[in-house]
Amino acid sequence: MTKKTDLQKELLAEVKEGVKPSDLKRKLKRSKSADDIANIPTPPPLPDHLLHDQLKEKQTEIESLRTKLATANQHEQIKSLNQELDATIDQASSELKQGDTEIKSLERELKLARINRTNSPFTSNNYETKLDYFQYGLYAL
């Protein structure tokens, strides 16, 4: 009812000779005050089941991101372990090559020593027996 009385007071103040009611109506429509403009209503709160569904969705999203992160960390760890393994393999390979060359060198020296031994004049069994008799003779003295 207060609006009706306010409207009547406003009409009485505005009504003058030569003013059409339609002009008043247009003027009133344009000059609404901030109090007359309706506030935009706030949206109603979401029901609990919608919030619960959104929460579940976000939790599954977080879990999937965590598994992706763990997978990425494992991938990096595997990559570094593979690099270490490659370095160890390279080192072992070079050590094996060095050992092979050393073995070949020693085999060569052994062959030369055997050849020199067979060509030596002291290699006969007769000489060894003569040494044994010589040693006995020395002991007798």
What is the average per-residue pLDDT within 100-105?
A: 94
DSSP 120: S
Q: Please give the Cα distance from 112 to 106 (Å, whole number).
A: 10
62 within 8 A of 70, measured Cβ to Cβ: no
What is the average per-residue pLDDT within 14-40?
A: 61
Q: Could you write out the DSSP letters of every residue in 7-75?
A: HHHHHHHH--TT--HHHHHHHHHHT--TTTSPPPPPPPPPPHHHHHHHHHHHHHHHHHHHHHHHHHHHH
Q: Is 140 helix (H, G, I), strand (E, B) or coil?
A: helix
Q: Is 141 helix (H, G, I), strand (E, B) or coil?
A: coil
Check whether 123 has a pLDDT greater than 70: no
Task: Answer yes or no: pTM beyond 0.95.
Answer: no
24 within 8 A of 42, measured Cβ to Cβ: no
Report how far Cα 114 is from the mean position of its chain's Cα atoms: 62
Q: What is the mean pLDDT of the chain?
A: 78
pLDDT computed for residue 2 by the predictor: 74
- Of 31 and 2, the structure prediction assigns the larger pLDDT to 2
pLDDT in tens, 36-58: 556 667 777 667 778 888 899 99
pLDDT in tens, 2-20: 778 887 787 677 666 666 6
What is the average per-residue pLDDT within 118-133?
A: 60
